[in-house]
Structure 1
Amino acid sequence: MSAGTTRALVLDLMRAVRISVVPEVDAAGVLVGLHTLSEIVGSAPLPNVAVIMAGGRGTRLGELTKDTPKPLMTVAGRSIIEWIVLGLVGDGVREIWVSVNYLADQIEEHLGDGSRLGCSVRYLREDPALPLGTAGSLTLLRAERPDLTHPVLVMNGDLMVEFDANDLLDAHRRTRATLTMATRTYQHEVPFGVVESAGGRVTAVSEKPTLSFDINAAVYAVEPRALAWLPSGEASSMPDLVETCLERDEVVTAWPITSEWIDVGTPTDLARAKGHT
């Protein structure tokens, strides 16, 4: 494999062809390193639990999600949610909970107990008549695992993203945050000249300026005690939890992701994800 290949892709190859060593080569085909199965999944497991939010209906994908849940959309021969699980396993996560609702049986049948992917997968089952949102289903985790003492990794089940969970958790600990949210830089070029004025007089003109924002990348590290602040039996979102933390004067920090990040929300996004693998 070429240098820089993600751990998830390396692990996928190992499991697909049942090998335990994969060479890494540079652009000239010169050997620069080796990936070993023990290196990827044999290291000490993280004590952290991860939660993948996979209960949404994916309505923006139209007919594509009429009979198939969005996390089961296929990219490079595997479902999106499998790529997420493989990425987490490659970082040392061994206990993964998946929040399910829409077409839940398909996701549960697809992932099973997680053993073929190198981890334990369990499910947080929402009432189909009462969707709980991206944070509300964490109240189900609160009930299932009241003994949690380490930060919980939380992420959406429709993301194609490479990030290092260890780096995120290290930053979370270092800043003593209650909640750390991954961010991604988003740039938008205004297709017109932008005029600045004061009192009717033009003070500046910027031709097609590029605006830059930090956006929510839908990957989080959350202290277990913050789960107690989520309302039981009603929908809530991760931005709601962020606002709650801020209102309580808790530390909320941003952790930038610089790698490729695709939120597979539309057919265009799905096509882009397929083209970047």
Structure 2
Amino acid sequence: MIAIGDYNRLKVSRKYKGGLLFETERGELFLPKIETPEGIGPGDEIEVFIYNKDKGELAATTVSPLARVNEFAALEVVDIQSFGAFLDWGIEKDLFLPNRRQTKPIQIGEKVVVRLVPDFEGQGIVADMDLEIYFEHDTSGLKEDREVALIVYGLSPLGFKVVVNKKYPGLVYRSEGYREPVIGDELSGYIAKIREDGKLDISLKKKGYAAVTDSKELLLEAIEKAGGFLPLHDKSDPELIKDKLGMSKKLFKKTAGTLYREGVIVIESGGLRLIK
């Protein structure tokens, strides 16, 4: 049985208009000439992505989409109609986001985070903005400190909500002092804590020495861009440090102290000066 919204390995039944046709239980699927690999003909097998081109009509492509069925993705809104919106997911046919699956008003050009799901009739794939019902909570295969891929999907008083590895719910706390992201931002981070309810606390920095090492590079770059003197110090406002460097005041002071002990900078009353 073919999997709609996913990759399938199909046997070519015949050539048609320079392209290829595949026989399936849902009828013939057409792969256009422009996407047909050289040297492929009847009897050969090829991996294609199958999607719903029109209602009840399926198509095949060798172009890789930005996401497939049962995955989360941040996709751009490219059109809005009275019955729903359409999202760019990297292939010719835009992905449909029905009105009933929208959780807030959206605009063309905006990125929205969605789950790709089968439609109610099982005839194709649609997008759904109601993410919470799709998260996995079995975190037995995860470990703390492991690097993970993140998609920002919401904000809360505590911080910003992220999809972790396209499967799990996570939260990055505001207390970490990083710049405020926007919905749809794709970041990398680290699992700081695995909670009993299956949710994950996420940090954007490695723990301990590794965090300072990364911050050293960032701080040195900022000093160099400022002409060798950066007017930030231990009396500077935490929000100013956060805005200029994207790190907390605590991490800034720790990093500056490390660079001072290494003889890279001198700490003056008005800021940090690079030793040439």
- Higher RCO, 1 vs 2 (CA within 8 Å, ≥6 residues apart): 1
- Fold match by TM threshold 0.5: no
Highest Rg: 1 or 2? Answer: 2
Between structures 1 and 2, the one with greater helix share: 1
Between structures 1 and 2, the one with greater strand share: 2
Q: Give the structure-1-normalised TM-score.
A: 0.27
